[in-house]
Chain A
Amino acid sequence: DVKVTQSSRYLVKRTGEKVFLECVQDMDHENMFWYRQDPGLGLRLIYFSYDVKMKEKGDIPEGYSVSREKKERFSLILESASTNQTSMYLCASRTLGTGGGEQYFGPGTRLTVT
């Protein structure tokens, strides 16, 4: 079974803090993704990585950065947390198999910024 884990299920941070969200997958997947999910807005892609040290911006990268130093680990960084970054953050990974490959999600981190 594919397993994607995230460092925290719930996190409460103060405005202006630097926040690190970690994601680890154990299936040697090439692609990893960070999304945020808000009611009424669906899943929105923040950043993705298609290889170690490679990253590409998604639809809403402002206020975020990412790091992928090892294939199995993809980190999302909120440089200076703001209240509008309160959300559910979902990490996913995907292999580039025949037909495009399936994407699997971690359990999510519900971040509250106060």
Chain B
Amino acid sequence: QKEVEQNSGPLSVPEGAIASLNCTYSDRGSQSFFWYRQYSGKSPELIMSIYSNGDKEDGRFTAQLNKASQYVSLLIRDSQPSDSATYLCAVSQNTGNQFYFGTGTSLTVIP
């Protein structure tokens, strides 16, 4: 069983703060890692992908990957109320076809 674990939350942060979302995975063969944002009633939207150890920054978002610890995180700087959503972590093997999703962390940014 390939498991992806996330804190279900809810996580609440004040506007302007840094939100930190965490994800661990069980399959050491995982090579590709993704963060999706899902607003209530909508489909998941890809916001970050990361494939190598270290940090990857895109605007206010930073993904961090540590394969030795089997850990991937997402930092959202200067959080805005529009960031309030559920964030899904997903992992995949390079040669495999399937994605494995966590159950998501609900984030609320308080104005």
Instruction: Say yes or no: A107 contacts B94, CB within 8 Å.
Output: no
Q: Decide: B44 and A99 in contact? CB cutoff 8 A.
A: no
Q: Is B17 an interface residue (CB 8 A)?
A: no
Within A20-36, which residues are at the interface with B (CB < 8 Å)?
Answer: 31, 33
B101 within 8 A of A: yes
In the bound complex, CA of A106 to CA of B45 (Å): 9
The number of inter-chain residue pairs (CB within 8 angstroms) is 53
> How many A residues have CB within 8 A of the partner chain?
23
A43 to B90, CA, bound (A): 10
Q: Assess A105 versus B101: contact at CB under 8 Å? Given A43-B88, A99-B31.
A: no
Given contacts A31-B97, A48-B98, contact A102 B44 (CB under 8 A): no
With a cutoff of 8 Å between Cβ atoms, the chain A residues found around residue B32 in the complex are 99-101
Chain B residues with Cβ under 8 A from A90's Cβ? 43-44
Cβ–Cβ contact A45 & B43, under 8 A: no
**B43 with A106: CB separation less than 8 A:** yes
Q: With a CB–CB cut-off of 8 A, which chain A residues contact B102?
A: 42
**In the bound complex, what is the Cα–Cα distance between A33 and B46 (angstroms)?**
15
Q: Does B62 contact A (CB under 8 A)?
A: no
Alpha-carbon gap, A31 to B104, bound state (A): 23
- Which chain A positions have C-beta within 8 A of B98? 45, 48, 58
Q: Does B42 contact A (CB under 8 A)?
A: yes
Contact: A104 with B31, CB < 8 Å? no
Q: List 17 A-B contacts (CB under 8 A).
A: A41-B103, A42-B104, A43-B101, A48-B98, A90-B44, A99-B51, A100-B31, A100-B92, A100-B94, A102-B46, A103-B90, A103-B92, A104-B46, A105-B36, A105-B43, A106-B43, A107-B43
B-side residues, CB < 8 A to A, are: 31-32, 34, 36, 42-46, 49, 51, 88, 90, 92-94, 96-99, 101-104
Residues of A in contact with B (beta carbons under 8 Å apart): 31, 33, 40-43, 45, 48, 50, 56, 58, 90, 94, 99-108
